[in-house]
Amino acid sequence: MRDWIGVFDSGMGGISVLHAARRLLPNENFLYYGDNGNAPYGSRTVEEIRRLAGAAIDQLLDRGVKAIVIACNTATSAYAEILRARLALPIVGMEPALKPAQAARHGGEILVLATHATLTLPKFQRLMATYGDAAIPVVGEGWVELVESGMAGTPEADEAVRRLLEPYAGRPIDCIVLGCTHYPFLARSVRKLFPNAKLFDGRLGTAERLRDLLVRDGLLSNSGTPGAVEFMTSGGEDALRKMQMLMDSFDALEDV
Ligand code: DGL
């Protein structure tokens, strides 16, 4: 029997996190659940997000996972505390990487891109109160849908990113936080508009936190062989195919 690490997202975005986790922990087995049939989460109410995330994570728990990564800033904001109170497993959540961006900026501003839910829920409000004096929060309107439909890296994606971010192109933007796990797939489009800004996302930090918790709890795989990856989705065959494609093409889309 395999000892799986469960990775959950509303859809394909968490594959960007899975990719980083695989690099850091190549001998672990990862079971990924994308709730593609219900994405996007970011424009839903907090109650809906909790209900959907709970049902999706139950699917991972049914398979006997040893740890859970909520590879979704939105679901973390709405549901991580509830999940931690419910389970004794290591649970890794995410938040927009505003703290390292604030430390790296040199007098300019920070664009923080995330979903509507992430930006309005208390978790991010607390982050803003401490690190947000130069931050401009922007909802990545339509970006999740772009990635879900397999359009990352296309001229249409460039155009959608340009439409949303052009109003900020004249400002002294030092750092851009990609605070939704779908957005790293659009990093190249963002980079075209802001060639000099430093991009931040939480993928590596999340993978490192996962490793630390596995070490702490004695759960690290001791197999010397490469681990497996299995995808599950509520979105049917088409979503499954796109997820595999995104996993294979991420090296080419990655730019941070
Ligand atoms: N990938 C998710 C996040 O990190 C949410 C995308 C969505 O479903 O709106 O916020």
Q: Is the pLDDT of residue 252 over 80?
A: no
Please tell me if the CB atom of residue 194 comes closer than 6 angstroms to any atom of ligand 1: no
Cα of 184 from ligand 1 centre, angstroms: 12
Strand order of the sheet with strand 109-114? 135-139, 109-114, 173-178, 198-200
Provide the residue type at 180 as one letter: C
User: Which pLDDT band, with edges at 50, 70 and 90, does 256 fall under?
Assistant: very low
Q: Which residues are catalytic?
A: 72, 180
- Does 245 or 83 have the greater pLDDT score? 83
Average pLDDT, the chain: 95
Query: Could you tell me the sign of the dihedral formed by the alpha carbons of 30, 99, 142, 157, in that order?
Result: negative
How far is Cα 138 from Cα 141, in angstroms, rounded to an integer?
8
Q: Which atom of ligand 1 is nearest to 71's Cα?
A: 4
**pLDDT score for 248:** 84
Residue 231 C-alpha from the chain's centroid? 16
User: Which pLDDT band, with edges at 50, 70 and 90, does 19 fall under?
Assistant: very high
Query: For residue 179, which of 99, 91, 84 has the smallest C-alpha distance?
Result: 99
Closest-CA residue, ligand 1 atom 2, reads 72
Please tell me if the CB atom of residue 79 comes closer than 6 angstroms to any atom of ligand 1: no
Cβ neighbours, 10 Å, residue 202: 27
pLDDT tens-digit readout, 102-136:
999 999 999 999 999 999 999 999 999 999 999 99
pLDDT tens-digit readout, 155-191:
999 999 999 999 999 999 999 999 999 999 999 999 9
Q: Which atom of ligand 1 is nearest to 42's Cα?
A: 9
Please tell me if the CB atom of residue 177 comes closer than 6 angstroms to any atom of ligand 1: no
DSSP 227: P
